[in-house]
Structure 1
Amino acid sequence: MGEDMTTIVERKAQLQARLAELQGRLKNIADELDNPANPDWDDLAIEREGDEVLEGLGLSGQHEIRQIDAALARIEAGEYGICTRCGAEIAEPRLVLMPETPFCQSCAGAVA
């Protein structure tokens, strides 16, 4: 049990570090999007394309933040590493690659 607890503590720290990184990145994106537009039409078109990319990154980051928050809640509830769909244990290699995943390999394939 001690080894499992260390793994959970490590996973929690990993998730919290990624959460802080994403929150910082989203703040930078918001700051960039808040900058006033360039009055030059050519530059304005380029800036709008850049804004669309930044907005896409922001939405992706917000989605990942929600996944991480949910994973941290599962850790607190003692349900981390258990598939939220079928209740099976999520394989360790899958958790190493995607510590925020709520699904085992089988259920992830079925959801996708």
Structure 2
Amino acid sequence: MNTRTTHLSADELAMRKAQLETRLNELQTRLHKIEDHLDDAPEKDWNEAAQAAENNEVLEGLGLAGQREIEAIHAALKRIEDGTYGICVRSGEIIAKERLDLIPWTPFCQAHAG
């Protein structure tokens, strides 16, 4: 079990939290737009229906990716609250600030990423 606490200052944590909350709001807005589009009226003819089905598959894929990112952001916000943000959940090692700059919701250091 990881007992290490964050290496980031209170100001850095506040900045990361604001960054994560902004991204969370963007994703939630995007998902609502996707849901609204998917709920729109059916197409008029077969060609339009086929094109709409293709578009809907793409939108559903984007929606699923957005949901996964939202889950990761919620987990990162919880780690900020717990004082473990910036610590790899697998190894307990520090996650480089440069990595957090690129993927602020990541729970893994470079060595344990994917």
Q: Among residues 83, 90, 97, which one is paired with 2:95 in the alignment?
A: 90
How many residues are paired up? 107
Structure 1: which 5+ runs fail to align?
none
Structure 1 residue identity aligned to 2:43: N
Choose 30-39 or 14-23, whichever is displaced more.
30-39
Runs of 4+ in 1 over 4 A off after TM superposition: none
TM-score, normalised to structure 1, is 0.93
CA drift of 1:26 comes to 0.1
TM-score, normalised to structure 2, is 0.92
Q: CA RMSD in A?
A: 0.9
Query: Structure 1, residues 34-84: CA drift from partner, whole Å, max 9, x if none?
Result: 012112110000000000000000000000000000000000000100000
Partner Cα separation in structure 2 for residue 6 and residue 85 of structure 1: 26
Partner Cα separation in structure 2 for residue 35 and residue 95 of structure 1: 38
Choose 52-61 or 32-41, whichever is displaced more.
32-41
2:71 paired residue number: 66
Q: Which has the higher helix share?
A: 1
Q: Which has the higher contact order (CA 8 A, sep 6+)?
A: 2
Sequence identity percentage: 54
Partner Cα separation in structure 2 for residue 76 and residue 37 of structure 1: 45
Partner Cα separation in structure 2 for residue 6 and residue 77 of structure 1: 16
2:4 paired residue number: none
Partner Cα separation in structure 2 for residue 61 and residue 101 of structure 1: 15
Note the 1:12-91 alignment, pairs <5 A.
Answer: 12-91=17-96
Partner Cα separation in structure 2 for residue 105 and residue 26 of structure 1: 29
